[in-house]
Chain A
Amino acid sequence: MNRREQPEERRGYPMNCEEALPLMHEYLDGNTEGREAAELKRHLLQCPECNRIFRELEMTEALVKSCPKLAAPSDFTDRFMQNLPVRPKRQPWFSWVKRHPAVSVASVFLLVMLGSFLSMWSQDQELTVKGNNLDQLVIEDNTVYLPKGHRVQGNLMVRGGNVQVDGEIDGNLVVVDGKYHTASTANISGKIYSINQAAEWLVYQVKEIFSPAVQ
């Protein structure tokens, strides 16, 4: 902008060569207005050196423009398309996965963990009883009964059934997916865990892994 205003301020003075060169480029860019072009022309008529440079620039530009346009080999498209792999269907989550590799790996790991716990959870919904000296127990239909005076050493785990405890347990009582009832005569030295949901089952499994006290 400043440069454009210069000739106006210096109106009446002849244009010098330093001013002329950038103006020649502007002219070749197609950016000179009438008055600027006229001043440039006047200078070029007076100055043989600038005249020569201007003609050379014009010629250079014409020569560069005249460079023959080259075409790609005629079988380019065919060859290229033949080697092009099939594009996988667009999966929006895939780009997200690409951008967040750490989170993705972590969530896949969690999914697998969760899956294995859940499969353990739903493996069988039949009545399962785990513990030592099971001969102390009376099992009827869906109910596990520990009569008064009977005693289980260690943990007792019952899954998929109800428990009635009248006797003694030297450890924890774990009831999964079932109800329990303890009589006044019952004596359980450990804790009672009643687990009725998958999430709780998961917490219990994790606890079992990390805390030997539960054993």
Chain B
Amino acid sequence: MKDTEARLAMLARSGDRSAFASLVDLYKDKMYHLAYRMLGSSHEAEDIAQETFLRVYTNLDRYDENQKFSTWIYRIATNLCIDRLRKRKASYSLDAEMPDGEGADWYSLLPSDQPTPEEEILLSETQEHIRKAIDTLPEKYKSVVILRYLQDMSLQEIGDVLDMPVTTVKTRVHRGREFLRKKLHSEYGGKIF
């Protein structure tokens, strides 16, 4: 049984642009939200969302229609985010050798530290604390926590997306949860709990 999204993907593969536009419409908010939580910047979130759809588009021929479309697109988006996080980490490290062009990349990351006015209005103080705590999550817990709580995925789905056993996903959810609790406890203690 093919779901609607898989069918849209098949139509898009045969050249139907409006079918692809429907897929973009269906997933743009999810991808944007995922990337925003992973990277903490609206600018980068839009970048990743666009890159995700572009990769989906150019790789439609490789999409296996028996696989859930959502698993496929989430895998592409999470991998892009993880790559971006690693690149960022490497460029922040003083020891890391900077290949050509990497310097420009580092600068482009700078403005992302300041939330846009829109974000400032949206976030209450507590939510801001949470956002910061999520930002500090180690990468391997971060993707799992975000997929679990902000994309409402089951452990099984997360395992499919990240290509890892459910037991590993579970352990990471537990450790991520514990990490966040300790972080919020030590930094904001009585203010939150």
Decide if A130 is an interface residue (CB 8 Å cutoff): no
Chain B contacts of A90 at CB under 8 A? Answer: 13-15, 61
Does B61 lie within 8 Å of A95, measured CB to CB? yes
Chain A contacts of B24 at CB under 8 A? Answer: 76-77, 80-81
Selected interface stretch from A56-64, A132-140, A150-158: A56-64
Does B17 lie within 8 Å of A81, measured CB to CB? yes
Q: In the complex where A57-B181, A84-B17 touch, is A69 in contact with B29 (Cβ < 8 A)?
A: yes
State the CA gap A29–B148 with chains docked (Å): 10
Interface size on A, residues (CB 8 A): 33
What DSSP secondary structure best describes chain B's contact surface? helix
Q: Which of A55, A64, A72, A86 contacts B193 (CB 8 A)?
A: A55
Decide if A70 is an interface residue (CB 8 Å cutoff): yes
Smallest Cβ distance from A94 to chain B, in angstroms?
A: 9
Chain A contacts of B94 at CB under 8 A? Answer: none
Decide if A71 is an interface residue (CB 8 Å cutoff): yes
Smallest Cβ distance from B27 to chain A, in angstroms?
A: 9
Does A63 lie within 8 Å of B130, measured CB to CB? yes
Does B32 lie within 8 Å of A65, measured CB to CB? no
Nearest residue, chain B, Cβ from A25: B174
Decide if B150 is an interface residue (CB 8 Å cutoff): yes
Nearest residue, chain A, Cβ from B13: A90
Decide if A28 is an interface residue (CB 8 Å cutoff): yes
Decide if B6 is an interface residue (CB 8 Å cutoff): no
Q: In the complex where A63-B130, A81-B17, A90-B14 touch, is A73 in contact with B46 (Cβ < 8 A)?
A: yes
Chain A contacts of B57 at CB under 8 A? Answer: 84, 87
Nearest residue, chain B, Cβ from A53: B181
Chain A contacts of B173 at CB under 8 A? Answer: 25, 29
Using a CB–CB cutoff of 8 Å, the interface residues on chain A facing chain B are 22, 25, 28-29, 52-53, 55-57, 59-61, 63-73, 76-77, 80-81, 84, 86-87, 89-90, 95
Using a CB–CB cutoff of 8 Å, the interface residues on chain B facing chain A are 12-15, 17, 20-21, 24-25, 28-29, 31-33, 36-37, 42, 45-46, 49-50, 53-54, 57, 60-61, 122-123, 126-127, 130-131, 134, 145, 149-150, 155, 170, 173-174, 177-178, 180-181, 184-185, 192-193
